[in-house]
């Protein structure tokens, strides 16, 4: 894996589905990701929550990626507590099959996983910043850099 992209789902309504703003955010994000990811095998993993799944589907459509895979471990809310070790294991398991691995998830993972990954894999301390809905972090594993994309 050359790059790990961690996306926070778009804005959503009371029904847990993306609203118009969320769809706009994710479409813009996907277009911006398209500009920085270049070529390679792209794999998209998502939380099964409607807001994350819909965000992943938009990203897959814009990037021309077939299907996205749903993984329960990427769901984080009051009923689904985050487990960074399991999420990290999922990344390691999926990394061999792709050049670019995109995770579409929730605040807790999007906010903390970049630093965790950088420390564990890149052996480098990388400070991230708060991530808003519809934004992403791109970890370049070859250059050991973190880029914020909105």
Q: Which of 45, 42, 35, 41 is nearest to 7 (CA)?
A: 45
Q: In this predicted structure, what is the pLDDT of residue 123?
A: 81
Q: In this predicted structure, what is the pLDDT of residue 2?
A: 92
Give residue for tokens 């009923």.
79
Looking at every residue in the chain, the average pLDDT score rounds to 91
Q: In this predicted structure, what is the pLDDT of residue 112?
A: 85
C-alpha 33: how far from its chain's center?
11
Distance between CA atoms of 132 and 41, rounded to whole angstroms?
Answer: 27
pLDDT digits (tens, 9 = 90+) for 33-48: 999 887 789 999 999 9
Query: Contact, 40 vs 137, CB < 8 A?
Result: no
Architecture of domain 8-143: 3-Layer(aba) Sandwich (3.40)
pLDDT digits (tens, 9 = 90+) for 48-106: 999 999 999 999 999 999 889 999 999 987 777 888 889 989 999 998 889 999 999 99
- Give domain limits for the chain: 8-143
């Amino acid at each position: 894996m050359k790059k790990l992209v961690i996306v926070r789902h778009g804005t959503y309504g009371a029904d847990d589905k993306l609203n118009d703003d969320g769809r706009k955010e994710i479409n813009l994000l996907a277009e911006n990701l398209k500009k920085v990811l270049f070529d390679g095998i792209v794999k998209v993993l998502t939380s099964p929550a409607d807001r994350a799944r819909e965000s992943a589907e938009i990203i897959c459509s814009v990037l021309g990626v077939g299907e996205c895979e749903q993984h329960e471990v990427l769901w984080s809310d009051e009923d689904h507590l985050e487990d960074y070790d399991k999420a990290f294991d999922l990344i390691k398991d999926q990394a061999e099959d792709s050049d670019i691995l995109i995770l579409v998830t929730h605040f807790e993972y999007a906010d903390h996983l970049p630093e965790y990954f950088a420390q564990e894999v890149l052996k480098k301390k990388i400070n991230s910043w708060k991530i808003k809905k519809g934004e992403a972090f791109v970890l370049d594993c070859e250059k050991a850099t973190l880029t914020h994309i909105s």
